[in-house]
Structure formats: structure tokens, C-alpha cells
A and B are shown apart, each in its own frame.
Chain A
């Protein structure tokens, strides 16, 4: 079955770089039409889409965070990594990864449980 799991530090200091890993199973990211997205949600607030990487290694970023984000994939190890530079307390949120099947028009059908990241000195 399809599963995704986010991992990374629970606490980062302001100005540090955050590195998050999405480890997935049940599908392969090199299948045409497959993608992985990152989405975050500050406590009690709305979802915010961050980035997506496609099966052909195309990358897409939120316009407001583009300069701080980098997404990459390691298809052989079924992992997608998101880095976010210059972390700030407003970046405190639960970070989710989710699968997209673009060829079927399905945006995010499977999600991980998310990982909570707190930015504090």
C-alpha cells in the first residue's frame, strides 16, 4: 500500500537551514505522472503549499518562498528532500509530504502524518 513518512528535526534555531525527508513506499517516483509535494500548516492555521518535484525532475516552488526552498529526489531510495533556508519563528508548522498522480488529475491523494517543526532560539 502507499505510505509516506516525513522526518527531520523537531527544533531549529532562527537563521538555520531546515532539512526534511519524505520516505515513501508503494509507488515509484520515476513513473510518468508521479510527483511529491510538500505542504505545511502552522498550528491552528491553514494549509500552505510549498513545493513539488515531478517524475521527470521538474521542480515547482511557492512564489513567496521560492528563494528559500530546494527540493530534490533520490528515486532509488524512495526519498524526497526539502530544504528551507533562513528559518524564522513564523516557519513553525507541521510539514507534510503528499503524493500526486498528475496524469490522472489527482493532486494529493496520500499524505504522511506530518512532522512538527518549531523554530525557536
Chain B
């Protein structure tokens, strides 16, 4: 299986400031045939199922605010929250869903207000 490693495990950011979460895969999730990275980001709030934020590494799911941005390619990816809002307090997970392989999640990053 591809191993997904997120950093940091947790971070505290002031309201309105930027939050940056990193995710590294043990092998590339870039599918050369279509030049797509099979990497997604989810947000999970307490007592709720995860919510898809980003897929294909940088495509925002419908309805997701544009302060959430995904970037990266190959094995290194980043989720940036440009201006943290109170409602963004949550645990964030990256997931690889490379074609033809079993899928795996990162260990999660907890985002809190400083």
C-alpha cells in the first residue's frame, strides 16, 4: 500500500491567518496518462463524517470556500487555508486514490485556533 504521511500532526493558527498542512506519499500518485494527481483532502468536524474538500490535488469540490487551496504533484502535496475562520476548526486528512491500487489516508492534522 502507498503510505501517506501528514505534517504537522496539529497546528494552532490565529483567526484570519494562514494554515498549511503537508502530505507526502510513499510513491507518486500522478497518473501519467491523464496528468492527474489522485490525491484528495477531507475535513472532519467532531461527530460528523468527513467532507470532501479537494480532489485531483487541486480541484475544489462544489460549495467549498475558495480560501481552501490544494497544491502539489507526484509525492508532495499541501492544503492551504488562506484565512482561517472559526468554522475551519477540524481534523484534515489527505487520501490517495490512485487508479488500480488500494486507497489510503494520512494520519490526520488537527487545526485549532490560537
A interface residue numbers (CB < 8 A to B): 37, 39, 46-49, 52, 60-64, 96, 98, 100, 102, 105-109, 111-114
Contacts and interface: CB of A to CB of B under 8 A. Distances in A.
Contacts of A108: 40, 42, 50, 52, 95
A46 B106 contact: yes
B80 interface: no
22 contacts: A37-B103, A39-B105, A46-B105, A46-B107, A47-B42, A47-B50, A47-B95, A48-B105, A49-B103, A49-B104, A62-B1, A96-B50, A98-B49, A100-B97, A105-B55, A105-B59, A107-B40, A107-B97, A108-B42, A112-B49, A113-B49, A114-B49
Contact of B93 (A37, A46, A114): A46
Interface of B: 1, 36, 38, 40, 42, 44, 49-52, 55-56, 59, 61, 93, 95, 97, 99, 102-108
Contacts of A96: 49-50
Given A64-B1, A105-B38, A47 B55 contact: no
Contacts of A37: 103
B105 A49 contact: yes
Contacts of B40: 107-108
B52 A47 contact: no
List of 7 A-B pairs having minimum Cβ-Cβ separation, nearest first:
A111-B49, A107-B97, A47-B105, A49-B103, A107-B40, A46-B108, A46-B107
B23 to A, nearest CB: 13
A106 B55 contact: yes
A109 B61 CA distance: 8
A49 B93 contact: no
Contacts of A63: 1, 102
A113 B44 CA distance: 12
Which of B38, B95, B99, B102 has the most C-beta atoms of chain A within 10 angstroms of its own C-beta?
A: B102
